Amino acid sequence: MHSTLTEHARCLYGDEYRTPTECGREHREHYFVEELTFADADSILAMLHELSPHAVDGCLPVWIRNLAYRLVLLQRPDEPALMREAAENLWLHGPDWDHIAADLTRRADAAEAC
């Protein structure tokens, strides 16, 4: 068993910043997605920030990044900085999600204005 979500993601998807480590286990994406689904926001953010420290890089699939940010925002819906971070990720991988990124940016602006 992996000790952290980040370790599990690194084992499954790799990491362009560190040499891959073999854990000797068979990896199935659905097990990782289950772990991600029930992870707390801090664990998800740690994984995103460690495996993709710059929004344009990293080996995480785009759909995993999008899901991860969605789960974080469900847990922390009123944090403008997180809304902006998620929007930045969506802008980079659009244009399919540009309208969602724009909405997140508007919500972040509104939250900061209060």
Q: Is this prediction's pTM over 0.95?
A: no
Q: At what angle do helices 80-92 and 62-75 cross, to 10 degrees?
A: 160
> What sections of the chain are H helices per DSSP?
5-13, 29-37, 41-51, 62-75, 80-92, 98-113
> How many C-beta neighbours within 10 Å does residue 114 have?
6
Average pLDDT per run of 10 along the chain, which is 114 residues long?
87 78 77 96 96 82 95 96 95 89 96 90
